[in-house]
Amino acid sequence: MKGEISRRSWLAGLCLACGVGAQGRIRAGCQANAFALKQGDFATLLEALEQMKKLGYEGFECNYRFVEGEFSRAAAARRQIEQTGVAFLGAHASMQQMGGEPGARIAAGVAALGGEAIVLSGPGLSPEGRFEAGALREKARAIEAIARMVKRNGLRLAYHNHNPEFANGNAEMNGLAAHTDPGLVDFLVDAGHGYLGGGDPAAFLRAQARRVYGIHLKTFRGKEVSGQVPLGQGDFGFEALAAAVRETGWTGWLIVEEGGGPRPGNRAALGPDREYLRKVFGV
């Protein structure tokens, strides 16, 4: 018995050293952008979570604005979220929004609601992925400062890219990984934006698997985000990324994202997207 316990402890340590998360498996998540949510309408968000659950999603991410109104009643709202059976994996905010006292208030509120992470996005340094070293170090320091505040609130920080960070051979993403503390800064790799930027999300995953908290999956026809279509119907798929997941033993959140920003959501795509995760990633 003692030997078996020691063996299990050794295996657990080995998994963590290899970048396998505490959950020990990949989980399917859903960005709430697919639904027509309005700020302050928490009841509609809860309805969306019920629909996600029925489709087989285990967790959700949303913009912090859609839960901000519940910060003053966080304990009750947290119970309502937990009753849906869909985990609150993260709230998305910009670097500007997470600065100073407003950012601390957002982090504390998300933590009180049971969130796991702040998903942080910032402007890319260059659309072509060519930038000054000083600008990269300055951005990395700014991200770390926010990450320290987020960590004090018991949350993880996961930096979310757009197209520019993956341009020029993943240049900015590689630079941010090299110039930020792995104990503070993780990444939420938006693979759809990564491919639109001309980069290689699979290569980034192979190099930084231990720091990848989650992966956004979305695909497009053409070079504009307005051309988003359901997974499996775009100009690119995620077979290479799935191969990198298997090779690295990565575990974390695979998050489908339909809509976002000025693009309307496509709730009808969430069912086909879930089937795509099963077919390509085995999740």
Q: From first to last of its 283 residues, what are the pLDDT tens digits of the chain?
A: 334 334 433 333 344 344 444 458 999 999 999 999 999 999 999 999 999 999 999 999 999 999 999 999 999 999 999 999 999 999 999 999 999 999 999 999 999 999 999 999 999 999 999 999 999 999 999 999 999 999 999 999 999 999 999 999 999 999 999 999 999 999 999 999 999 999 999 999 999 999 999 999 999 999 888 899 999 999 999 999 999 999 999 999 999 999 876 666 789 999 999 999 999 999 9
260-to-88, 159, 215 alpha-carbon distances in Å: 18, 17, 15
Instruction: Estimate to the nearest angstrom the gap between the alpha carbon of 110 and the chain centroid.
Output: 15
Nearest alpha-carbon partner for 115 in 100, 93, 95: 93
**Could you tell me the residue range of the domain that residue 150 belongs to?**
22-281
- Could you give phi then psi for residue 100, rounded to 5 degrees? 60, -150
16 located within any domain: no
pLDDT of residue 43: 97
Asked whether residue 181 is assigned to any structural domain, the reply reads: yes
pLDDT for the residue 263: 67
Distance, CA of 9 to CA of 204 (rounded, Å): 29
Could you tell me if residue 9 is inside a domain?
A: no
- At 262 the pLDDT is 63
Distances, alpha carbon 11 to alpha carbons 15, 19, 20, 95, 206, in Å? 6, 13, 11, 38, 21
Q: Quote the number of domains for the chain.
A: 1
- Could you give the CA distance from residue 259 to residue 283 in angstroms, rounded to a whole number? 22
Q: Is residue 1 part of a domain?
A: no
Residue 15 forms part of a structural domain:
no
Looking up residue 212, the CATH number of its domain turns out to be: 3.20.20.150
Instruction: Tell me, yes or no, whether 4 lies in a domain.
Output: no
Q: Examine residue 191 and state whether it is found in any structural domain, yes or no.
A: yes
What pLDDT is recorded for position 261? 64
pTM, to two decimals: 0.90
Q: Does the residue 8 lie in any domain?
A: no
